Amino acid sequence: MSKKKVQGGAPRSNREFIFQKRNYLFMFAGLVLISLGYILMAGGGSDDQAVFNPEIYSFRRIRLAPTLVLIGLGLEVYAILTHPKKK
């Protein structure tokens, strides 16, 4: 952080956020996708250990949910690496 001198000699810090609003929106969208993916993966277990439940191998748990998590992680990386626009 840079220090600027103000009248009277007391240093004043110039605080800025590291990321811009656009970066934070992408980060939030990535977190939503990751959370949704984990929610879709949850469940599918059986109450009785001796009974097999084929629901655990559904399209939602095997394909859709992990894909959403990976897209969310990719969006997080993009949000961090994208260059903020200068004013």
Residue 9: inside a domain, yes or no?
Answer: no
Q: What is the pLDDT of residues 8-38, one digit of tens each?
A: 666 767 888 888 999 999 999 999 999 999 9
Q: Does residue 6 belong to any structural domain of this protein?
A: no
In a domain, 2, yes or no: no
For the chain, what is the radius of gyration of the CA atoms?
Answer: 23
In a domain, 12, yes or no: no
Residue 51 forms part of a structural domain: yes
Give the model's confidence band at 84: pLDDT under 50 very low, under 70 low, under 90 confident, else very high.
confident
Structural domain contains residue 71:
yes
**Three-class SS of residue 53?**
coil
Tell me the residue range of the domain where 74 lies: 17-81
Domain count, the chain: 1
Residue 11 lies in a domain: no
In a domain, 10, yes or no: no
Do residues 42 and 35 make contact, with C-beta atoms less than 8 angstroms apart?
Answer: no
